[in-house]
Amino acid sequence: MSLSDVQQTLFFPLMGRAEASRRWPDLFPDPWAQEALRIRRAEGSTAQQLGAFPTAVYGLRHLMTLREINDYLAARPGAAVVNIGCGLDRLVDELTEPKSVVYNLDFPEVLEARRRWVDPHPREVDLPYSATDLRWLEHVNGEHGVVAIAAGVFYYLEVEDVRSLIRAFGDRFPGAKLCYDAESPTVTRMSERSVARNGTPDARMPFKVKDPYEVRTWSDRISNVRVEFDFSTYLPDRKRLPLSIRAGFTGMRLIKGMYEVVVDFA
């Protein structure tokens, strides 16, 4: 099966996480990402490894994802977890809550590839939809709460599509939580060029929003928006990263070029 350019980009975070785990195993233990490298080779992906700073970003993005999910599950035991644009990621083994179900949301052809390489788990449910096909909301059991994450996904969606998704998600799941990462328009354009140079020349990143807090206006169900402009604050001790990489995160914080958004719904 030939993977599309957007599907090729699914390998970038896994490759980055695997490299972060190799470089800094104490900070980013990630056995699944190492396994995903084997899958990448078997799938014939053209995606290439990125540099040291992107490697740290991917490692931290996974760390942030787990932190936000597990914090929500601590307060809402048994809540559903939705992995928007899951690709070949596997969260179920890293959850602290043993009763939560993980919904893997992605294009049917991506889930088909996933099933060839990823063993099924009794607490996983596949949702073969595009993130923008909001029918997927009807298949999530939100009885005990819902936390959804979109790690590296919204970059590839139109702003209006993300706005519609957030509005529908808040209407469907009161008390839910949604986490996603994004970049400033300037940094997003830089990321587009970087991805193009590393194997996926036709992958566009149309999600360009000047004000990360603008999401507050996208739904009257939103009760709080938290934005973190420095990924490295999720580390217990950021000094364990090389100075050059810490400086990179400091620079991104100063220009508000990269951020994690956590949205709570009333």
Domain limits, the chain: 60-265
Flag whether the pTM goes above 0.85: yes
Residue range 249-261: mean pLDDT, rounded: 97
* Cβ atoms within 10 Å, residue 182: 24
pLDDT digit string (tens) for 35-86? 777 776 776 665 566 688 989 999 999 999 999 999 999 999 999 999 999 9
- Return left, alpha or beta for 225; rule: phi > 0 is left, psi -120 to 50 is alpha, else beta: beta
> What pLDDT band is residue 1 in, cutting at 50, 70 and 90?
very low
CATH class of 60-265: alpha beta
Distance CA 154, CA 135 (A): 18
What interhelical angle do 31-43 and 11-23 show, nearest 10? 130
pLDDT digit string (tens) for 196-216? 776 566 678 999 999 999 999
> What pLDDT band is residue 16 in, cutting at 50, 70 and 90?
confident
pLDDT digit string (tens) for 208-244? 999 999 999 999 999 999 999 999 999 988 999 999 9
Residue range 176-195: mean pLDDT, rounded: 92
> What pLDDT band is residue 183 in, cutting at 50, 70 and 90?
very high
Distance CA 14, CA 18 (A): 6
**Measured CA distances, 83 to 199, 216, 247 (Å):** 25, 22, 31
Which residue in the block uniquely carries the two structure tokens 């036709």? 202
pLDDT digit string (tens) for 95-151? 999 999 999 999 998 898 888 888 889 999 999 999 999 999 999 999 999 999 999
